[in-house]
Chain A
Amino acid sequence: MAEVKKYEEPRIGVFVCHCGTNIAGSIDVKAVMEYARTLPNVAIADDYQYMCSTPGQNKIAEAINEQKLTGVVVAACSPRLHEPTFRNATKAGGLNPFRFEMANIREQNSWVHMHQPEEATAKAKDAVRIAVAKASLLEDLIPKSVPVEKAAMVVGGGVGGMQAALDLASAGIKTYLVEKTPSIGGRMSQLDKTFPTLDCSQCILTPKMVDVYRHEGIELLTYTEVEAVEGYIGNFDVTLRKKARGVITPAEAEARGIVGGGCTGCGDCATVCPVIKPNPFELGMAPRKAIYIYHPQVSPLIYTVDFDSCVKCGLCVEACDTKQAVDLEAKDEFMTVKVGTVILALGYDIFPIEKKFEWGYKNYDNVITSLEFERLICASGPTGGHLIRPSDGATPKKVAFVLCAGSRDNTGVGKPYCSRFCCMYSLKHAHQIIEKIPGVVPYIFYMDIRSFGKMYEEFYYRIQDEGAKFIRGRVANITQDPVTKNLHVNAEDTLLGRPIDMEVDMVVLAAAIEPTAETEKTRRLFGVSCSQDGWLLEAHPKLNPCGTTTAGVYLAGVCQGPKDIPDTVAQAEGAASAASIPIHRGEVELEPYFAVCMEDKCAGCGLCVNQCPYQALSLVEKEGRTVMQVTEAKCKGCGTCGGFCPGGAIWMQHFATPQIIAQIDAFLLGGEQ
């Protein structure tokens, strides 16, 4: 295969697609087809309204049989769209599917040169000529199959990650659920109620947390981060860092020979711990000790030592007594697991809204974020569910809600996108204060109310009826009365066409959301792309929203873009389904685009080995010589080694040097030899 080929006399079939008027509207399709007939090696040229339709595909298969074709060229849309379609048609005609080449005359031609028909037609002729040159040199390729490990990993233990793990494990797949914090639950466990049903967030989440904890098929790895990733679809080797927790579970205690030992979550250790730190789960509004749990419903119910603040006084060790669960000498541990597919459910953080200084967050006491509001209104929160003004502990009677705080912002300070759930939770917040505080008036400053989900518009109607006041206008700035600490919210009522100066007791900023701090590092480990705003990039925004461009890696929840709980759970179930397909099939076919070493030319210099971004190359001894060897399953066919090899000893399948030279010649020489 890797030897210099002797090609049979090429016979190429060219098919030019009209794509309705998408192509034929600006390109003279007939002229392109007639031109193709004049090209060397072309045995037949034809055109059709829609080549991707069944009759269009039949034309290809028939021509292969009748004309004894060796290669097929279709001039149509992007290969990203229909290359698989036409490969199947080529295969149906009895040719190897890789003897097909596509010329893109739509996305890269007719759509961009809509008003230059002559130039567009000339460019289409060039594209066809180049494709024919390559098709004349194409060869049979056989895709390789690799076995798939019957295990999966979910990174992130929020509601999306939990749902994905439950689905995978319930489908009989061993699933590792990796969570960086000491408990699963994620953002949803910080929320008081959910819209539009007003379910208690914890009440609907904790049963799921328990299900995850108890599921036989799930190995729950909390306080654990992904350290390194090697391998490819079907065979990812993921190295995990189990951060030093300082507390052992009953199972770990048993393994150490401590009978009846391990953490039971009794909390005696925290009672005696002398170190007090802000609890990040309560956004710093409540204290925790150096040995802590975030809240009573954590899963697993195991305490964690914060070694950054622990003074190692040993009081907790004494308090724990015979359970011997506290181990202040614990160190980070590493483990490597093999999985077939991976789902990233990395979640989100709140945008640091103090960067928009005009709203005075962190400067004025009574300006809070909506996540802080969630904790303050929550019965298990730091104030027992009483919304109070941070400045004086009084109950606010006029509360302004600032929507689009940092979202839909093109200044470079905020975020250009819509954070998608702020409208709805702000409506819910308005409802919550009306319910809890008699005589309170919520003022909602909005640009648009985006209540697009099922029963969401009805929820908006309900909240308006309950007495929330809506003011259409983005808040320009907020000033503070230095004596009363009341806030003056300045905006325009754009419906009234007049500025407003509204004095309120409290302001809640519906701050934008952004990818978590760890998202960038984690996505790089798994080779997943991100869009400009940092959200992870799906394989196709409409038709493959759960997949990524890295085979075997899928996305769930907000890490792919802002979404609310129903959308997150739906995507998690979609990602779990997608991630289970290769595992249930048991093997995956790899595109045969890998590099091949032409051993008689290889000098064994090894320079290519370090160039490879995928660690796919190595040097081996063969028949007394050192030569390079490709691990085909790891090779992505990027061509780095092929372009680099000083001896020209690397053959890039489907993108071989003679094929590319032929394409360049065809373009530069205009068909002359």
Chain B
Amino acid sequence: MAVKKDYKDQKLAEKLRDRKYYIPDSNPEFIKDVEKIGQTAAHMCYQCGTCTGSCPSAPRSSYRIRLFMRKAILGLEEEILTDPDLWLCTTCYSCTDRCPRDLAPTDAIMAMRNLAFKRDIVPRNFLQTVQLIYKTGHGVPNNDANRAARKRLGLEAEPETTHKYPEYLPGIRRILDHYRLKENADRILAEGE
């Protein structure tokens, strides 16, 4: 267990926090959950770093997919689920294409996001995206600038999606309702106000 000391100053306490890894601080079941949801044998990762090397997010942020894989194997659940970097994956699947152990690190990240969502840990912009999808069927809905651009290119103003066929919106909403995504997004956003 991490050694705790009673510093009165909270900043100092955080600065001098025991960051050592102790087995009792970890959850050995976490990797099994990730594997079950992500459907990939994450425990077989041998930490070569091909994933981080392929990652378009890595050079522009502190997001390190190899490190998430490592922490998952070590069962550092708390640390992973509260890390804002977890949400920096663009799901481009480059890492999955190149992983020499034939794993799907992207799917492991998606699984960890699912587990985070279960505990209401989601960045606000993701929740707003859920609301937009519920409302328009699009994470990034069409707008006037886009419509003008489409016309200049000789296209119809609205694409072949729910924008053009709003009768399909109820179907999308049913899916989101089934998973209670909208409900949870609304609730979490409201709680955050």
Footprint of B on A, CB under 8 Å?
A: 398, 441, 461, 464-465, 467, 469-470, 472, 493, 495-503
Contacts and interface: CB of A to CB of B under 8 A. Distances in A.
B73 A498 contact: no
A498 B19 contact: yes
A496 B70 contact: yes
B160 to A, nearest CB: 45
A496 B43 contact: no
B70 A495 contact: yes
A503 B23 CA distance: 7
A497 B66 CA distance: 12
Contacts of A464: 43-44, 46
14 contacts: A464-B46, A465-B41, A465-B43, A493-B21, A493-B74, A495-B67, A495-B70, A496-B70, A496-B74, A498-B20, A498-B21, A500-B22, A501-B21, A501-B22
Nearest to A468: B43
Contacts of B28: 441
Nearest to B64: A497
Interface residues of B, number: 17
A495 B73 CA distance: 11
B82 interface: no
Nearest to B67: A496
A493 B66 CA distance: 13
B44 to A, nearest CB: 6
A470 B101 CA distance: 15
B147 interface: no
Given A495-B70, A498-B19, A501-B21, 5 more contacts: A398-B23, A472-B47, A495-B67, A496-B70, A502-B22
Contacts of A465: 41, 43-44
Interface string B41-85: 101101100000000000000000011001101100000000000
A496 B66 CA distance: 9
A158 B44 CA distance: 37
Interface in B72-120: 73-74
B44 A496 contact: no
A457 to B, nearest CB: 10
A398 B28 CA distance: 13
Contact of A502 (B19, B23, B44, B71): B23
Contacts of A498: 19-21
Nearest to B28: A441
A464 B28 CA distance: 15
Contacts, number: 43
Contacts of A501: 20-22
Nearest to A504: B23
A499 B46 CA distance: 19
Nearest to A493: B21
A89 to B, nearest CB: 51
Q: Is the interface of A mostly helix, strand, loop or mixed?
A: strand
A117 B110 CA distance: 63
Contacts of B41: 465
Contact of A495 (B19, B23, B47): B47
Interface string B16-39: 000111110000100000000000
Nearest to B2: A501
Contact of B21 (A398, A441, A467, A499): A499
Contacts of B21: 493, 496, 498-502
Contacts of A502: 21-23
Nearest to A497: B67
A467 B28 CA distance: 11
- Interface centre among B44, B67, B70, by most A CB within 10 Å? B70
A100 to B, nearest CB: 54
Contact of B19 (A469, A472, A499): A499
A469 B26 CA distance: 14
B44 A461 contact: yes
Contacts of A496: 21, 67, 70-71, 74
Contacts of B47: 472, 495
Nearest to A503: B23
B53 to A, nearest CB: 15
A480 to B, nearest CB: 17
Nearest to B101: A461
A499 B66 contact: no
A149 B15 CA distance: 79
A497 B21 CA distance: 10
- Interface centre among A441, A470, A496, A503, by most B CB within 10 Å? A496
Given A464-B44, A496-B67, A469 B73 contact: yes
A347 B67 CA distance: 43
Nearest to A496: B70
Nearest to A490: B20
Nearest to A469: B73
A499 B20 contact: yes
A502 B22 CA distance: 6
A58 B171 CA distance: 88
Contacts of A398: 23
A58 B3 CA distance: 80
A495 B70 CA distance: 7
Top 6 A-B pairs, shortest CB-CB distance: A500-B21, A499-B20, A495-B47, A495-B70, A501-B20, A496-B70
A476 to B, nearest CB: 12
Contacts of B22: 500-503
Nearest to B49: A495
A449 to B, nearest CB: 8
B102 to A, nearest CB: 11
Nearest to B69: A495
- Interface centre among B19, B21, B43, B46, by most A CB within 10 Å? B21
B27 to A, nearest CB: 14
Nearest to A491: B21
Contacts of B23: 398, 502-503
Contacts of B74: 493, 496
Contacts of B44: 461, 464-465
A503 B66 CA distance: 25
Nearest to B19: A498
Contacts of B70: 493, 495-496
Nearest to A502: B23
A396 to B, nearest CB: 14
Contacts of A472: 47
B68 to A, nearest CB: 11
Nearest to B66: A495
A493 B47 CA distance: 12
A441 B28 CA distance: 11
Contacts of B67: 495-497
A503 B1 CA distance: 10
A90 to B, nearest CB: 55
Nearest to B22: A501
A469 B73 CA distance: 8
A157 B66 CA distance: 48
A465 B44 CA distance: 6
B28 to A, nearest CB: 8
B12 to A, nearest CB: 20
A441 B43 CA distance: 14
A464 B73 CA distance: 11
B23 to A, nearest CB: 6
A501 B22 CA distance: 5
Nearest to B73: A469
A419 to B, nearest CB: 22
Nearest to A488: B22
A464 B47 CA distance: 12
A450 to B, nearest CB: 13
A465 B28 CA distance: 15
B94 to A, nearest CB: 21
B8 to A, nearest CB: 26
A448 to B, nearest CB: 11
A501 B26 CA distance: 12
A629 to B, nearest CB: 69
